Amino acid sequence: MPLLSNPEDVIGRRFDFIIAGGGTAGLVLANRLSENPDVSVIVLEAGNAHVDDPIILSPTGWVPQLFNSEYEWGLQSTPQPHSLDQRLFEFRSGKGLGGSSSINCLVYLKPHRADIDAFEKLGNPGWNWENYQKYSKKAESVHAPVPPVRQFRPTYNHDDVGHDGPLPVSFCPIASGVEYPLQKGLSELGIETISTGFGGETAGTYKALASLHPVKMTRTDSANAYLFPVIDRPNLQVLTGALVTKVVTSGDEATGLTADAVEFEHGGKFYQVLCAKDVILSAGAIKSPQILELSGIGDRSILEPLGIETKLDLPTIGTNTQDHFTCTGPAYELRDGNDIITGELIADPDFRGNLKDPYKEIEGPLPLVMSGYAFFPLHKAAANAQELIDKISAKINDEASPYSAGLREVYHVQLELLKDEDVPDVEIMVVPFSVIPMGPAGRAYVNVPPVLSRPFSRGTVHINSADPLAPPVIDPHIFEEDIDMEIITAGFKVSRAAAQFSPYKDIIAREVKPGPDVVTDDQIKEHIKSHVGTVWHMVGSCSMLPRDKGGVVDAKLKVYGTNNIRVVDLSILPILVSTHPQATVYAVAEQGDIIKADHM
């Protein structure tokens, strides 16, 4: 059992670094900062420790974790007027050591180099693809794949990935049997299988890596990779069940606010730990802005009606949020006799027993993760791509449009990405799990939905209560910008079109969602509106941008107007990357060695 702290070990003590949030980024920082034995570090995590939790360790454990308050916060959006019936949307955010790295779907993908270079273009020196790869490789230890039984083969360049980092990463040896036929169908549409997707060029189809131990076949996360191996360091304290409620500051806007302490709730009581150097918020894109606003740092017009004294008027906190939008479908019932493996089938002990022979090299339990992905630009998906680009360009450039000067500048960089025919705008993923019933039990089903990679719609997350236990108000503004619906509709049609070609069409018995009666663009859009959701990849709420462009933190991750408050998590990304962001969180946290350099 790792050595965790008790409240009496830490209350009233002074620490050099206080990390609010023991999630993906927070535990990377805890490890790296405590490498120096002369500094003291404390992690305050609201959730439980979950040490050796079999649900977390299981590669399919994310299914029973869904909407389980032991593992996630159970947050909801406001009603969304651009969805059918003004739906509310669930937002998954990890709670407990490991954070979202302990509840995600294990997908480990790197973005396109242009996604990361966009950060530097927006005024953040050093935040570019070369540094991304440097820090990503520092985090990961990619292991050679087990020889595949199926035709869906892992391919990558050895030099594109790291091999000595704390986080074991591997290719899942088992696939559903849908991935390779889908690749062949997409190739008929000009979307080719590529030899590597981990070196900065991601357009095409390929097999994803997973945060999966290559021998044990269990989930790897920031807790078991970064924290537990060093938990016995005498200069590192970790307190679970500790909800950070605010940062206690002194000073003013003229001299800059200084974080003197962090207040937290534990067991119904409120305590403080004192700060000698920096307070680092790593509570995620929903909770980090909430902590800042509860601390009196944010939009005066939001704080003062709640009775919170404004210590620093920074109205951009909680704005510029973005997330990957997706939907249910196209989804299919699959034919018998094609060696299909789905999450429901592999849960059957008899089915697993029959799989052991072809996968005899696997020593641990048989895993199944989502590993089939395709990424492609709008130009590959829509014949009217240029017309759509011209339309959104005209709107952004129209001085009468309701965009701030800062957002307009961010949009111009985002437009460059949209115009680039080598940079993906849409994703298709193979989901061999039925989170909701697709049809009669005992059959094999697969969902092959599109994902909008880089939405133009911008949302917000703000407090509406001074009570730190009250959830924040999340408004993602789904489909507020028309182009988002156009892009995801184009992606939906590509996914469906691939099913016209063998061998993909040969394994499909029937389309179950939306079904053959949904044909026209208007019908597809109505289906998407009624089945839309996010992929729980929110970014942007504490954007790393120049202050006059809407920034919350600078390129050294320090909150503007403060002397020693930093944010290190996905909330700092000013533009959403065009792939699943787990690898990006690790890279961002490793690049947090900026903090170490500032205190040398």
Q: Which of 266, 379, 462, 537 is catalytic?
A: 537
Phi and psi dihedrals of 292, rounded to 5?
-60, -45
| Whole-angstrom distance, CA of residue 500 vs CA of residue 527 | 20
| Whole-angstrom distance, CA of residue 600 vs CA of residue 598 | 6
| Whole-angstrom distance, CA of residue 109 vs CA of residue 198 | 7
Q: Which of 163, 531, 580, 599 is catalytic?
A: 580
40 Cβ contact list (under 8 Å, min separation 6) = 14, 15, 16, 17, 235, 236, 237, 276
308 Cβ contact list (under 8 Å, min separation 6) = 293, 294, 296, 466
Which residues are bridge partners to 460 per DSSP?
475
| Whole-angstrom distance, CA of residue 290 vs CA of residue 560 | 16
Whether 527 is catalytic? no
Q: What is the three-class DSSP state of 372?
A: strand
| Whole-angstrom distance, CA of residue 399 vs CA of residue 319 | 21
Beta strands in 251-386 (DSSP E): 258-266, 269-281, 297-298, 312-313, 325-327, 331-334, 372-376
Whether 158 is catalytic? no
| Whole-angstrom distance, CA of residue 324 vs CA of residue 319 | 16
Q: Is 256 exposed, middle or buried (0-12, 13-18, 19+ CB in 10 A)?
A: middle
Cα dist. 386→13, 390, 401 in Å?
60, 6, 21
On whether the CB atoms of residues 490 and 484 are closer than 8 A, the answer is: no
Active site residues: 537, 580
